[in-house]
Structure 1
Amino acid sequence: MALPLAGVRVLDLTHAMAGPMCTMFLADLGAEVIKIEPPWGEMTRVFPPLINGGSPYFVFLNRNKKALSLNLKNPKAVEIFKALTKISDVVMENFSVGVMDRLGIGYEVLRQINPKIIFTSITGFGQYGPYSNRLSFDPIAQAVSGYMFLNQQMADPQGPPVQAPEAIADSVPALFAVIGILTALYYRQLTGVGQRIDVAQVDSMISILPSVSFFQLAGLTFHEAMEKYRVGFPGLCRAKDGYVMITAPQGDIFDRFAKMLGVETLDQEVVEKWARHRSTEEIVSRLVEIRVPVAKVLNIEQMMRDPHVNARSMIVELDHPQTGPTKMPNFPLKMSESPGTVRTRAPLIGEHNEEILGRLLGMSIEDIERLKEEQVL
């Protein structure tokens, strides 16, 4: 079965999470992603804890990719990168604004080499604007976008702002970058023209917040509106052996739940009283039977063992020379004709130097050894 992005070549200069997650999904869809990093490796290779020298962070984010080591502060490495750009489709980077220009491989330079190139940047604040030169990581974007404030409202309105886990201000812009690249590839197919894509963490986070419209029109956030108008019963309830999450919006679902409990209306006290002496299994079974949305609250280990998660093949295992057999999330989309797949483990530093430079640029083994001696690779 053909991979949908087979034949698309991506030069991946990214590090940390937002950029590598974007190129990970492109690689899952079949793009040839060449991860280009300095000879000492990019930062997530040493993100703790290290398992026999390998980082769980790096091993997850860089599956399905090939690795080329290039010291881009060396002019010969820059020329190699330009030669690869000439025969590639996408350049992906998440350096601070201006770094690519200072390296001599900015968009204006590369589009002269390959007018069809799609040049994508992920930064904290974008390529222009008053904050564009500021450095950023996930927590910074969460802070500026209002996301930490919204988390505070849910956790404790009188407490401090709350940072969301799992670097959501990296994963959301990563997905927008994927959308941008796929859109640009289609546009190029229609017009023959490449383009630059400017993805900002802060822009991406703001774009997913319904609270912006709620606040502008009603002076409330989405969570405050849910609390004030009680549009249903969304509630975390403690059972005798754990927690369950129940969501019963107003209407038939709400009415079915109330009828089962023998009450006119639902509130947190009534539901908690019913739940506290029952097991999570019993609660889920009863509510699923009457078609009320409900789920056990699972930890990571429980989630990985869950029968539905496994029926959907959402956890896969790859054998890595450093970390050994390593489980990780699978590609999530189930596509009937061209599904994405997890095929190969994350590469070691420069693991594919000879293949890439030999196959794509016609270099000999002697040429490549000379470049190593000159600290180009």
Structure 2
Amino acid sequence: MGTTIAGNDEGNLTRSFDGLRVLDFSTTIAGPHCTRMLADLGAEVIKIETAEGETMRTRPPVRNKCSTAFGQLNVGKKSMVLDLKSPEGVEAVRRLIATADVLVENFRPGVMRRLKLDYAAVRHINPKLIYCSISGYGQSGPSAELPAYAPVIHAASGYEMAHLAYQPGRSRPDYCGIYHADVLTGAYAFGAVTAALYQRSTGGKGQHIDVSMLESMLSLTLNEVQWSQFEVKPTQRPMFGPIETSDGYVMVAIASEKTFQSLMQVIGHPEWVSDPRFAIYSDRRENWASLMDGVEAWSRTVDTQACLAALNEYGVPSSAYRTVREALADPQIAHRGALAEVADGGGTFKVLNLPFRMSGATVSAAKRMSTLGEHTRSYLKEIGLSEDEIAGFAAERVKTARS
């Protein structure tokens, strides 16, 4: 059972966004991550897809044609299939917009305008609509229409070269397999949507939100943004890096005077606290390589578990280098209720809940995945289509899927 916050009554809690309707036109990661967060907090998220379904539906692991990678990003959403290239599909969207609170899209700038579904074209339908556009470089400017995926943005933002500067002896940038830009931008979009909803609650009007992946990634390089403006003497060795043990590596973070002093006790050199090379922070940076050589002279004599035990005893922040599988098996994850079990056509799988808990609201993933187009009929009926018109939509969907 997951942890609960002191004072809450989980059985009687509602969700923060109960009653909120979101139209989700987004694909891959950034937009779906944003709307998954809204869904976990109770929003009714209607995911609009083509008859083939979005590309993430084929990403492994796939069981019985059901992707758990897709499920991680889209659990809790309703699924509606529409052909946005048809006048009927666009008209259906316009009717849905009249009922919605939020719209999220992450097409390349210009796509929604060509479909006549951009903010300028629909704001009169629903003046209270919060319309969030996520793109690589922003909705306007010389780079706006360039194609962009997370690895490209990692390179364009300077992030990869900033990361490389901390790798001694390295000159070639790393390969990219973990898409920080997508997840970070999705989280920023979520924050912007919630801010706009609060503003609407006081002013009554919606607005357009323009979220840039490039600027989102730049926000990770806090020090480098300043170092790029002013000359700063580099350290001889990265401030945070692995120390070697007799059977592996441990990360140690020396981020305060107390941490430094405690670490010197652990390694058996309490006199280094007053050593002219290390006593003052600026001098310590200058002599970082010598300091870490001294730390590793101790750490190489013990195994990883003994190293961590000694560091934890003195309150030095540290961790072994774990795989994701190992991290998910941490008892702390179970205590927090960080994983939720979801059912789909392939069985069950686990997804991460949002990384926060609230004393006055329920925050958790839904229990099952919607099938592709599962809710198309009910929403078409809600917006006033006749049975014949709904049948026509279904026939067109089959035709599109076969072509």
For residue 91 of structure 2, what is the aligned residue in structure 1? 79
Distance 1:346 1:124 in 2: 28
Q: CA deviation at 1:134?
A: 0.5
- 1:245 and 2:251 are equivalent in the alignment: yes
SS for the counterpart of 1:375 is helix
Aligned match of 2:79 in 50, 63, 67? 67
**1:352 matched residue in structure 2:** 375
Q: Compute the RMSD of aligned alpha carbons.
A: 2.0
Q: 2:227 aligns with which of 195, 205, 214?
A: 214
Over the matched positions of the two proteins, sequence identity in percent amounts to: 35
Q: After the TM superposition, which residues 10-49 of structure 1 pair with which residues of structure 2 at under 5 Å, given as runs? A: 10-49=22-61
Q: Which of these residues, 265, 268, 278, is aligned with residue 292 of structure 2?
A: 268
- Please list the CA deviations of residues 250-281 of structure 1 after superposition, one character each: whole Å capped at 9, or x if unmatched: 41221121023221337222222322242322
CA distance in 2 between partners of 1:179 and 1:273 (Å): 46
Q: Is the 8 A contact 2:76 2:368 kept in 1?
A: yes
Q: SS of the residue aligned with 2:251? A: strand
- 1: CA distance between counterparts of 2:64 and 2:391? 28
Distance 1:287 1:251 in 2: 15
1:363: Cα distance to partner? Answer: 4.2
Which amino acid in structure 1 is aligned with residue 230 of structure 2?
L
- Structure 2: unaligned runs, 5 residues or longer: 1-12, 273-289
* Separation in 2, partners of 1:157, 1:126: 35
SS of the residue corresponding to residue 243 of structure 2 reads strand
1:213-240: CA deviation from partner (whole Å, max 9, x where unpaired):
12212346xxx4xx3598xx63312333
Instruction: Work out whether residues 34 and 190 of structure 2, in 8 Å CA contact, stay in contact via their aligned partners in 1.
Output: yes
Contact 2:164 2:171 in 1 (8 A): yes
Q: What is residue 286 of structure 1 aligned with on the other side?
A: 310
> Offset of 1:128 from its aligned partner?
0.8
Number of aligned residue pairs: give it.
Answer: 368
Report SS of the residue matched to 1:125.
coil
Does the Cα contact within 8 Å between 2:81 and 2:373 map onto a contact in 1? yes
Question: Any unmatched runs of 5+ in structure 1?
Answer: none
Deviates more, 1:265-274 or 1:95-104: 265-274
User: What is the rounded CA distance, in whole Å, between the counterparts of 1:156 and 1:260 in structure 2?
Assistant: 26
Query: Among residues 205, 214, 219, which one is paired with 2:217 in the alignment?
Result: 205
Specify the SS of the correspondent of 2:147. coil
Distance verdict in 2 for CA 1:375–1:165, change over 3 Å:
closer
Over residues 82-102 of structure 1, what are the superposed CA-to-partner deviations in whole Å (9 max), with x where a residue is unaligned?
000001011110001111011
TM, length-normalised to structure 2: 0.86
How many Å apart are 1:285 and its aligned residue? 1.8
Deviation at 1:156, TM superposition (A): 4.4
For 1:301, the aligned partner's letter is R
Does structure 1 conserve the Cα–Cα contact (< 8 Å) formed by 2:79 and 2:371? yes
* CA 1:192–1:89: 2 relative to 1, 3 Å: same
Quote how far apart the aligned CAs of 1:362 are: 4.3
Q: Secondary structure at the match of 2:185?
A: helix
Q: Which moved more, 1:364-373 or 1:142-151?
A: 364-373
Range 156-165 or range 312-321, more displaced: 156-165
- Give the Å deviation of 1:283: 1.8
Residue 380 (structure 2) pairs with residue 368 (structure 1): no
Give distance in 2, aligned partners of 1:19 and 1:302: 28
Greater mean alpha carbon deviation, residues 11-20 or residues 336-345: 336-345
Give the counterpart of 2:173 among 144, 161, 165.
Answer: 161
Residue 265 of structure 2 corresponds to 259
Partner of 2:360: 337
The DSSP-based 3-state class of the residue aligned with 1:198 is strand
Partner Cα distance (1:190, 1:250) in 2: 43
Decide whether the 8 Å contact of 1:58 with 1:346 is kept in 2.
Answer: no
In terms of mean alpha carbon deviation, does 258-267 or 62-71 score higher? 258-267
Contact kept in structure 2, 1:235 and 1:268, CA below 8 Å: no
> Aligned-pair distance for 1:371?
1.6
1:164 CA drift (Å) = 4.7
Aligned match for 1:304, one of 324, 328, 332: 328
SS, match of residue 308 in structure 2: helix
Letter in 2 for 1:256: S
Give, in whole Å, the separation in 1 of the partners of 2:200 and 2:256: 47
CA contact (8 A) 1:151 1:164 kept: no
**1:59 Cα deviation after fit:** 1.2
Give the superposition deviation at 1:208. Answer: 2.9
Cα deviation code 1:275-309 (max 9, x no counterpart): 22423222222211111111121101111111112
Per the alignment, residue 2 of structure 1 pairs with 14
Distance in 1 (CA, whole Å) between partners of 2:156 and 2:232 is 19
Structure 1 segment 142-153 matched on structure 2, within 5 A? 142-153=154-165
Q: 2:368 & 2:236 partners in 1: Cα distance?
A: 49
Moved more, 324-333 or 267-276: 267-276
1:101 aligns with 2:107: no
* SS across alignment from 2:230: helix
Partner Cα separation in structure 1 for residue 367 and residue 378 of structure 2: 16
